[in-house]
Amino acid sequence: MLSRLVAELGDSFAFVWSGQHYSDNLKDVFFRQLGVAKPAYELGITGNSDAEFVGKWVAGLGELLVELDPAGVAFLGDTNTVLGTLACASLNVPIAHVEGCMRSYDWRMPEEKYRTVADHLSDVIYAYLDEYKEQGVLEGLDPRRILVTGNPIVDVLEHFFLSGRIRLGSMERRVLFDALGVSDTRFAVMTAHRRENVESEHSLSRILRLAGAAKVKVVFPASYRTQRAILRMKLTVPENVTVIDPIGYAELLELIYESEFVLTDSGTVVEETAVLQVPSVQMRTSTERPQVYDSGSSIKFDPHRPDDLGELEGVIAAAHSRKGTTWVHGLGDGKASERIVSDLLLRTLNPDLFRGHDPVGTNRPYGRNAGLGLSRLADWRS
């Protein structure tokens, strides 16, 4: 989702990379395939725990903010990097949160805590759907600070994949599919990375058994954390499941698009499958994206429930039955990125639009870089 925002912002911003993901197949391949310029600042921050990472990240980002004195900082998503909002808050730097007001109402999920903190520290929140804004307002957030934009994942898929810009050529696709043994057969795709799933032997074994219940081959690009967990727990990978290392975005989308269905615990992937009209099974106890159930694009599977072979087979059968059906995803019109960027640029030229940051302009300049290269000021909200 970041790719379209980066492209639309152009030279009006500085892209900061925490360093959390640093290997080629978790970072650089996405920049290459989506044509995203490399980050202007890479802080190289790592940690053996969330607490260690967040502590270093807040300190490192704070030092960079003092140096840059920006007009504002935009954060995307619900990972632990959005706790960089603490650095901004401590320096009174305006904050924008993209993907705001999503709620699973499951406080056990670290992501729920991260996005809640980010929303309550933010000066402007870009919520994808009206119901997300309603959730934020019920939580006490000022409705004037929440703008409904639509979901940028629609923009990304329309611009890059459905347009053909990052579609693999016929030979590349054949090589990929041959290597995975799925060129001439039906198959499914699976991803699983969420902490509550892969760090629980019960839930991870249930996920593997669900894949084993499929009547087709299952291609499983597994995160390194997931692979380590499978080995550490000495879990058996079903014969129909092929575990591979993480792959590029273009390759993953090709597999998803040609698959019978997708098994995933990724919020973004269930959105992508909804847009691409591919059935999915959302392997989550709770989700901040219930709209995929409403549209009929996704089926729920709770990995934490007691095991039941009949349930596994029923979920797989339901996923198979939805192949070839269509639905209205309702996630957006493909213009979310334009709306977010237009508003961000407008606010950098008009700092008073940021809530609570010296609105009369008497105490602190709003950043040396406010107003750099800003050309598109159309107010899409009118």
CATH number where 120 lies: 3.40.50.2000
> Is 61 part of any domain?
yes
pLDDT in tens, 136-181: 999 999 999 999 999 999 999 999 999 999 999 999 999 999 999 9
Same domain for 180 and 318?
A: yes
Q: Which structural domain range is residue 64 located in?
A: 2-150+335-353
Asked if pLDDT for residue 34 goes beyond 90, the answer is: no
Q: Is residue 316 part of a domain?
A: yes
Q: pLDDT per residue over 214-270, tens digit each?
A: 989 999 999 999 999 999 999 999 999 999 999 999 999 999 999 999 999 999 999
Same domain, 6 and 136: yes
Domain match, 115 and 168 both:
no
Asked, for residue 361, whether it belongs to a domain, the answer is no
Q: What is the C-alpha radius of gyration for the chain, rounded to an integer number of angstroms?
A: 21
Region label for 220, one of left (φ > 0), alpha (ψ between -120 and 50) or beta (otherwise): beta
Q: Across the chain, what does the average pLDDT equal?
A: 88
Pairwise CA distance, residues 27 & 204, whole Å: 25
**DSSP class of residue 310?**
H
Same domain, 168 and 309: yes
The size of the chain, in residues, is 382
- Give start and end residues of each alpha helix (H) in the chain: 2-9, 28-34, 50-68, 85-91, 110-121, 130-138, 152-156, 170-180, 195-198, 201-212, 224-232, 249-258, 267-276, 291-295, 309-322, 336-349
Q: Same domain, yes or no, for 100 and 121?
A: yes
Residue 377 domain flag: no
pLDDT band at 36 (very low <50, low <70, confident <90, very high): confident
Could you give the CA distance from residue 19 to residue 32 in angstroms, rounded to a whole number? 17
Domain membership of residue 267 (yes or no) is yes
Same domain, 264 and 178: yes
User: Are 286 and 141 members of one domain?
Assistant: no
Q: Are 201 and 257 found together in one domain?
A: yes
364 in a structural domain: no
Same-domain pairing of 71 and 171:
no
Examine the domain organization and report whether 138 and 182 are in the same domain: no
Q: Which of 256, 223, 263, 269 is nearest to 240 (CA)?
A: 263
- In this prediction, residues 27-41 reach a mean pLDDT of 75
pLDDT reading at 372 higher than 60: no
Q: With a cut of 50, say whether residue 374 has pLDDT above it.
A: no
3-state secondary structure 102-147: CCCCCCCCHHHHHHHHHHHHCCEEEECCHHHHHHHHHCCCCHHHEE
Q: How many domains does the chain have?
A: 2
The pTM of this model reads: 0.88
Both 92 and 176 in one domain: the answer is: no
158 found inside a domain = no
At residue 351, does pLDDT exceed 90? Answer: no
